[in-house]
Amino acid sequence: MSENKATINLAGKSVEMPILDGTIGPSVVDIGKLLSQTGVFTFDPGFLSTASCESKITYIDGDEGILLHRGYPIEQLAENGDFLETCYLLLHGELPTAAEKADFDYRITRHTMIHEQMAIFYRGFRRDAHPMAVVCGVVGALSAFYHDSTDINDPYQRMVASMRLIAKMPTIAAMAYKYNVGQPFVYPKNDLDYASNFLNMCFAVPCEEYKVNPILARALDRIFILHADHEQNASTSTVRLAGSTGANPFACIAAGVAALWGPAHGGANEICLRMLEEIGTVDRIPEFIARAKDKNDPFRLMGFGHRVYKNYDPRAKIMQKTCHEVLSELGIKDDPLLDVAMELERIALSDEYFIERKLYPNVDFYSGITLKAMGFPLTMFTVLFAVARTVGWISQWQEMIEDPNQKIGRPRQLYTGPGSRDFIPISKR
Ligand code: SDX
């Protein structure tokens, strides 16, 4: 390419577009003036080659299997810190000092309760409603209660809304679970850390003292770290697009929850476990591998493949290690699901179809086995993903709002419908 410019020759015209370089990763061709200079759009359904924004938060190298949050490798964050430290990093851009961390933990801990009247919302749902449906509704309803943090032009209110969302998501999620199983809601406890508090709100009952298992709490905290943010994935892009209209932060996060629910995205952890249960035993794996390869069969190997990772998802490696830790802590020696998962991974990674298409296990492949072992029902898996991803969504939302060049997102299209034609009265049709 010429120095920092790309030349497009179109309809006898030669148009130069600036090339912008990032700190690391692919450069971009700024096509903002393409329409005005050539009268054509670019066309990229699914955004395979399109950068929707500039961001300083997360970087993924799909070929190398690298994931950085504000420059820090996910492996180091998962190993050395806790989830709230990663939340601080994503929100503020730097790791906190001890004093900043203590203050952040204190403030999050003391925003974990939700308005008491919101508990009434849950009564409006069927007991067997999918918890994601409940969480989506209740998160959107936060904007009906917290009016003092919906002004997106006030930096203070933006930060208050961000802290409230990070703090209240576990409470909302746990209440959805309790409502689903018909048990009384459990209030947050300020003497518990983030993950322990969530376990307590999910599994404590009024009849006896609930003792949080520190190994499981640490594992869950690490699972939250692994799911915190991931560049411009579908749900984050949804939050950004909703936010670009000026919608309040609670409404934007509810939109993110809705987008995450899809089986091709965050819903994959639940569907992946159902797939492993359907496969059932190692000897049935070849039948499912054949189905995954069959173009006429819509079946896909859930937990495999990724739009960006064309190498092993670094989160999946840490997830696999965490899975083994949790199973051994719980004394689960031979989990048939784990046997199927390990054998499925071995076979798939040696099969030409998967090798050629660079389909590796992603973060959702091992998370379901781990969460099931911890006692969560399958329908709560994506809810836990949403709890963790809330910090990523709200950090990206903040970044978008603070971007001086931010404008409403409004993609165009390639129109292939009928040209203009006159109305025909029904008597003549
Ligand atoms: C998440 O974007 C993110 O960052 C998401 C996420 C995050 O943290 O936010 O990482 C979380 O969503 C992880 C992905 C979870 N989804 C799944 O595990 C569902 C199963 N995976 C597939 O649906 C698929 O791999 C996607 C959706 C993840 C990616 O799809 P792409 O990039 O659009 O790729 P594609 O559908 O064009 O597939 C390319 C080829 C096709 O074959 P050909 O047409 O070239 O012959 O690979 C095949 C696909 O049929 N393929 C699969 C497959 N995934 C892709 N074949 C079998 N099983 C699969 N899982």
For residue 386 and ligand 1, the question of a CB distance below 6 A is answered with no
For residue 292 and ligand 1, the question of a CB distance below 6 A is answered with yes
- CA–centroid distance, 401 to ligand 1, in Å, is 30
Question: Which three-class secondary structure state does DSSP give residue 205?
Answer: strand
- Cα–Cα dist 388/196, whole Å: 14
Residues with a known catalytic role: 306, 364
* Greatest Cα-to-Cα distance within the chain, rounded to the nearest angstrom: 79
Closest CA to 134 of 207, 78, 185: 185
From atom 23 of ligand 1, which residue's Cα is the shortest distance away? 264
Q: Label residues 133-149 b or e (16+ Cβ within 10 Å = b).
A: bbbbbbbbbbbeebeeb
41 and 380 in contact (C-beta within 8 Å)? Answer: no
Closest CA to 170 of 193, 137, 191: 193
Atom of ligand 1 nearest to the CA of 303: 18
Strand order in the sheet with 58-61: 58-61, 66-69, 72-73
pLDDT tens for the chain, residues 1 to 429:
446 999 999 888 899 999 999 999 999 999 999 999 999 999 999 999 999 999 999 999 999 999 999 999 999 999 999 999 999 999 999 999 999 999 999 999 999 999 999 999 999 999 999 999 999 999 999 999 999 999 999 999 999 999 999 999 999 999 999 999 999 999 999 999 999 999 999 999 999 999 999 999 999 999 999 999 999 999 999 999 999 999 999 999 999 999 999 999 999 999 999 999 999 999 999 999 999 999 999 999 999 999 999 988 999 999 999 999 999 999 998 889 989 999 999 998 899 999 999 999 999 999 999 999 999 999 999 999 999 999 999 999 999 999 999 999 999 999 999 999 999 999 999
For residue 228 and ligand 1, the question of a CB distance below 6 A is answered with no
pLDDT value of residue 396: 98
Neighbours of 45 (CB within 10 A): 9
List CB contacts of 410: < 8 A, sequence separation 6 or more.
none
pLDDT value of residue 1: 45
- Cα–Cα dist 32/17, whole Å: 8
pLDDT value of residue 254: 98
Mutate to test the pocket of ligand 1, among 90, 304, 349, 382 (most ligand atoms within 8 A of CB): 304
For residue 315 and ligand 1, the question of a CB distance below 6 A is answered with no
For residue 269 and ligand 1, the question of a CB distance below 6 A is answered with no
Query: Residue 2's beta-bridge partner residues?
Result: 5
- CA–centroid distance, 360 to ligand 1, in Å, is 10
List CB contacts of 35: < 8 A, sequence separation 6 or more.
41, 412
Q: Label residues 239-254 b or e (16+ Cβ within 10 Å = b).
A: bbbbbbeebbbbbbbb
From atom 2 of ligand 1, which residue's Cα is the shortest distance away? 233
- Cα–Cα dist 76/128, whole Å: 39
pLDDT value of residue 12: 84
- CA–centroid distance, 307 to ligand 1, in Å, is 6
For residue 230 and ligand 1, the question of a CB distance below 6 A is answered with yes
Two tokens, residue 380: 């709560």
For residue 368 and ligand 1, the question of a CB distance below 6 A is answered with no
CA dihedral 262, 264, 265, 269 (to 10 degrees): 90
From atom 33 of ligand 1, which residue's Cα is the shortest distance away? 307
From atom 52 of ligand 1, which residue's Cα is the shortest distance away? 300
- Cα–Cα dist 163/161, whole Å: 6
pLDDT value of residue 309: 94
